[in-house]
Structure 1
Amino acid sequence: MPSADPAPPIPRNSNGIPPFSALPLRTGDPFFSAWGLYGSHDELGTLNRLTPTRVLAAAAQEIRTGARVSTDAPLTVHTSADKAYFARAAFHQELIHKAPRIVNDDIWTFNTQGSSQWDGLRHYGYQKEERFYNGATLEDFHGPGFKPGNRTKDPGSERLGIQAMAEQGIVGRGILLDFHSWRLAQNPPVPYDPFKRDSITLEQLQAVIEAQGTVVKFGDILFIRSGFLVAQNEKSEEELTTVKDNIPHSFGGVEQSEGVLRWLWENFSAVAGDQPSFECWPSKESYAMHEVILAGWGMPIGELFDLEKVADQCKKENRWSFFFTSKVCNVPGGVASPPNGLALF
């Protein structure tokens, strides 16, 4: 009996993926999508690139000094005026003294995308087609009778939930592109404002790679330090509140272009940055790269990562690669999760 999920009849390279020019893989699927590459029921997307062989090689080659650096900002770091970016709820902690014993519990309430976070595959779909990775729909997540704007308190389906990523984590070789340090070292410095609609171009990212002497390997987890946290720390609470009140927000980030998409597709298993939106926002094109990266390929997008200490350690060791491990929260049907990430050198 033939397989229910036959491999697309297209050539694959030595890394097991089709060329970017072959996307979409099937007639009628959304632009640049790779639906069906790992089967129609797959929920890991490009995390399938993190094979045991690649993870083992990354551990053997990258862990040398034993230094360990967190990539997570505090859950409270982006909160001002009781709100986070994109009108998301702020983090709240309730501390409970369990009298008469000398014992404490606490309760946390927070939006999973209010601080450092991985966007899961339920987060952002193709807007025109109204489809998520491998063709999933809003009805798949919210259940029958879905209406736009619904808050679903008890999702009936776990499809594409963050629990799939929690099973083995996001683990492998990480590389940091320290765009912020590179741009300041140029003469004159490259202009870029993380709080404006400025783009980081593919040519600039490739220049950073060359300046650092970094070698990109297939399956790497990409991190881009734009300098967002540096800029945020220079703003007052009043200025940050004004930013959060001004909807839609404007943020710097990676440019929307076919060249960037090709580069990401050909090299990485997951991508992350220190920006509220990995890409320049609002998009300068008719599409958002979130549509392709998340909904088209099933590639996790990390945002608001704290890469300051990672950058310091990279400079200290004079290398911008490391072993990275991230264990997302095991929440069936979850949309996003704090990374719980560590860079090991």
Structure 2
Amino acid sequence: MSSDTETRTRRWTQRPADANWGDFGPDDQLGRLNLLTPQKVLDGVREVRTGRNFCLSLPLDCPGGTALNPRRQPPHLAPTMRGDLPNMAYPLSRDNPPLLDVVCDDTVHLALQYSTQWDSLAHMGQWFDLSGTGKPEMAFYNGYRAGEDVIGPVDYRHEPGSAPATPRPPGAYRLGIENMAASNVQGRAVMIDLKRHFGIEKRAIGFAELREVMAAQQVVVEPGDMVCLRTGTDEALLGMRGEPDIAWLGAHFAALDGRDEGLRKWIVDSGVVALIADNAAVEMLPARPATTASYASHPLHDLCLFRLGVYLGELWLLSPLADWLAENGRNRFLLTAPPLRLPRAVGSPVSPVATV
């Protein structure tokens, strides 16, 4: 496509600072997943020396309750129904005496971002002046628009009831998690063990602290890598056995400082595909006070999901892998982590596998 044609067809005339919108094409929905090339898969495969696997998913009913997020309920399992009867340990001989089969079949009501998860690029957008007219719009990565590409049952561009409801079901018609799933999400990942360096004291990690840890652990991050950040939050959540102590969790553990300019520049320049942590947001929340009149409450989500197309993985089980890597003098591994291929979803549970 010529640059003139691209300019006429793209959805925006200006893009935010530090954004890579359009760099992978005017209609790109993958962001930096485009950097997970076959060569990066081979880079990950070359890190496999023992054939040992690690499950990086917490149980999907962890953390338990709604203390971490009141809008996300724990999963509810129930049998499917066979007429009026529950289809669980159901003997088919009830219906046909010669049959010996006993059937189990179930369903689940699940908040897609309750436990170990991926955020899609539709998970969080920002108000931004796409057209350069001075009129901000609700927008997402690569200039996709709320109310057109990502829609809900209420169109918040208008007062509720002032405009007809969209005839389409709600969801992300662009940037949905199914795009990530179809890309397979496999390649080289790098572990940065914040707990091993700082312990579990509460600490905001800016670029200076990150550089210190990477130097101490001889970590090298290259374009196309996925970066895992072990804080120890996963071990604490498992130890709380479904009853998370929010006050204690909030007073401990390192997390990225999304307002640190050096850290933000490193994320822009490094070419990382994803930032993954064992905590609930990757970044420290609430964030440090902003110095501008209007600002993002989740500054790292703004930079990664909205501007760069860098994916965020939250509440991963990283500690057993991090300990093994440290014991064996390593920090790189093959990561395989596709989400559910669920069209229009804005996030997904994931059962990642690390192979070392």
Which TM bucket (shorter chain)? 0.7 to 0.9
1:290 maps to 301
Q: Secondary structure at the match of 1:66?
A: coil
Match among 42, 45, 52 for residue 67 of structure 1:
52
Matching residue within 255, 258, 270 for 2:257:
255
Partner amino acid, structure 1, of 2:72: R
Q: 1:342: which partner in 2?
A: 353
Secondary structure of the structure 2 residue equivalent to 1:62: coil
Q: Distance in 2 between matches of 1:344 and 1:297?
A: 27
Q: CA deviation at 1:27?
A: 6.6
Which amino acid in 2 is paired with 1:215? V
1:133 paired with 2:141, answer yes
Q: Which residue is 2:276 aligned to?
A: 272
Contact 1:90–1:110 (CA<8 Å) still a contact in 2? yes
Check 1:147–1:241 CA distance in 2 against 1; reply closer, same or farther (3 A cut): same
1:343 shift after superposition: 0.7
Instruction: Classify 1:320/1:50 alpha carbon distance in 2 versus 1 (closer, same or farther; 3 Å).
Output: same
TM-superposed CA distance for 1:239, in Å, is 5.9
Tell whether the 8 Å contact from 1:250 to 1:282 is kept in structure 2 after alignment: no
Percent identity for Structure 1 against Structure 2 = 30
Name the TM-score, length of structure 2 as normaliser.
Answer: 0.78
Output the CA distance in 1 between the equivalents of 2:243 and 2:227: 33
Structure 2, unpaired ranges of 5+: 80-86, 93-101, 129-135
**Alignment check: 8 A CA contact 1:251 1:282 kept:** no
- Residues 1-345 of structure 1 mapped to structure 2, 5 A cutoff: 2=2, 4-5=5-6, 28-59=14-45, 61-80=46-65, 84-95=68-79, 96-97=87-88, 99-101=90-92, 102-127=102-127, 129=136, 130-139=138-147, 140-142=149-151, 146-147=155-156, 154-155=169-170, 158-184=173-199, 192-193=201-202, 198-233=203-238, 235=240, 240=245, 253-256=255-258, 257-267=260-270, 268-284=272-288, 285=290, 286-287=295-296, 288-345=299-356
In 2, Cα distance between equivalents of 1:200 and 1:241: 20
- Write the distance in 2 (CA, Å) between the matches of 1:212 and 1:134: 35
Give, in angstroms, the shift of residue 311 of structure 1.
Answer: 1.1
Q: Which runs of 5+ in 1 are unaligned?
A: 7-25, 185-190
For residue 83 of structure 2, what is the aligned residue in structure 1?
none
TM-score, normalised to structure 1, is 0.81
Provide the rounded CA distance (Å) in 1 between the counterparts of 2:239 and 2:152.
44
Q: In the alignment, residue 273 of structure 2 is paired with which amino acid? A: S
Contact 1:250/1:281, CA 8 A, preserved across alignment: no
Distance 1:211 1:47, change over 3 A: same
Distance 1:145 1:280, change over 3 A: closer
Deviation at 1:229, TM superposition (A): 2.2
3-state DSSP of counterpart to 1:333: coil
Moved more, 174-183 or 277-286: 277-286
Are the equivalent residues in 1 in contact too, given 2:77–2:106 (CA < 8 A)?
Answer: yes
Q: Deviations over 1:160-212 (max 9, x none)?
A: 1111111122111101101001113xxxxxx723xxxx412222222221121
Q: Give the Å deviation of 1:44.
A: 0.4
Contact 1:200/1:252 (CA < 8 Å) preserved in 2? yes
Instruction: Supply the AA of the counterpart residue of 2:112.
Output: T
Task: Note the aligned Cα RMSD (angstroms).
Answer: 3.0
2: distance between equivalents of 1:40 and 1:142?
A: 20
Relative to structure 1, the CA distance from residue 157 to residue 119 in structure 2 (aligned partners, 3 Å threshold; closer, same or farther) is: closer
For residues 214 and 267 of structure 2, the distance between their equivalents in structure 1, rounded to whole angstroms, comes to 14
Q: Distance in 2 between matches of 1:57 and 1:70?
A: 20
Classify 1:143/1:94 alpha carbon distance in 2 versus 1 (closer, same or farther; 3 Å): closer
Asked if structure 2 preserves the Cα contact closer than 8 Å seen for 1:162 and 1:330, the reply is: yes
Shift of 1:279: 0.7
1:203 maps to amino acid: A
The answer as to whether partners of 2:64 and 2:244 remain within 8 angstroms in 1 is no
Larger Rg: 2
- 8 Å CA contact 2:274, 2:311 repeated in 1: yes
In the aligned structure 2, how far is the partner of 1:132 from the partner of 1:202? Answer: 26
Contact 1:251 1:276 in 2 (8 A): no
CA distance in 2, matches of 1:141, 1:239: 33
Aligned pair count?
311
The Cα shift of 1:29 comes to 2.0
Who is 2:82 aligned against?
none
